[in-house]
Chain A
Amino acid sequence: KAGVTQTPRYLIKTRGQQVTLSCSPISGHRSVSWYQQTPGQGLQFLFEYFSETQRNKGNFPGRFSGRQFSNSRSEMNVSTLELGDSALYLCASSLKGGSSYEQYFGPGTRLTVT
């Protein structure tokens, strides 16, 4: 079974621009969660989508948004990029929604904001 895929793998953007990241979950998985990983803060939860609905969200500003499509693929958008948004963005898929179930991570998108 294919794993979680994320595109693009690397991205360089300029402050003020916006960016869209994509995630395709493991086949049959309906939940997609997004995380931001930085050396200082570690892995921080952004939001979770399940059955095309945002099920949960973390403590990030409204510049961070996402959506999920009927095939469970998910996109994450960051508008008005700031230097501090430079990070590894990871998506994780799970068979069911909620925090009780195992999550499997994709390879991540490395975003650099200059």
Chain B
Amino acid sequence: QKEVEQNSGPLSVPEGAIASLNCTYSDRGSQSFFWYRQYSGKSPELIMFIYSNGDKEDGRFTAQLNKASQYVSLLIRDSQPSDSATYLCAVNTVRDDKIIFGKGTRLHILP
């Protein structure tokens, strides 16, 4: 089992709709969870981080964490064409104190 798994996509969502991105992880001891956005040819940009079970909202973005089921998700409300990018999920591993990145989900917002 891969340490951090994401659906590679592409995920196509109409403009104005909610985009839902999911990520599962294997280390039950993981405590820190991050979402990065990466535009083509650019470096990853941190957009959300969450440490506790439940939801965390920041503007149009909501991160949801469910430690019992070992998944974390990112919701993007009122999706805009500028949200089209690859979204990377990252999780810390307690075993060796590293941040492991998923391979990312490509999101395409349809105008």
Contacts and interface: CB of A to CB of B under 8 A. Distances in A.
B92 A102 contact: no
Given A99-B32, A99-B92, A99-B93, A105 B101 contact: no
Interface string B88-111: 100011001111111110000000
Nearest to B92: A99
Nearest to A4: B43
Given A42-B102, A42-B103, A56-B97, A100 B31 contact: yes
A102 B97 contact: no
B98 A58 contact: yes
A43 B93 contact: no
Contacts of B49: 102
A108 to B, nearest CB: 5
Interface in A19-36: 33, 35
B32 A107 contact: no
Instruction: Categorize the interface residue count of chain A.
Output: 20 to 34
Contacts of B51: 100
A107 B43 CA distance: 5
Contact of B98 (A99, A101, A102): A99
Nearest to A55: B97
Contacts of A42: 101-104
Contacts of B96: 56
A104 interface: yes
Nearest to B42: A107
Interface of B: 31-32, 34, 36, 42-46, 49, 51, 88, 92-93, 96-104
Given A88-B43, A99-B93, 9 more contacts: A43-B88, A45-B98, A56-B97, A90-B43, A98-B92, A98-B97, A99-B92, A100-B31, A105-B44
Report the 9 A-B pairs with minimum CB-CB distance, sorted nearest first.
Answer: A99-B92, A43-B101, A42-B103, A105-B43, A100-B32, A99-B99, A108-B43, A99-B97, A105-B44
Interface of A: 33, 35, 42-43, 45, 48, 56, 58, 88, 90, 98-108
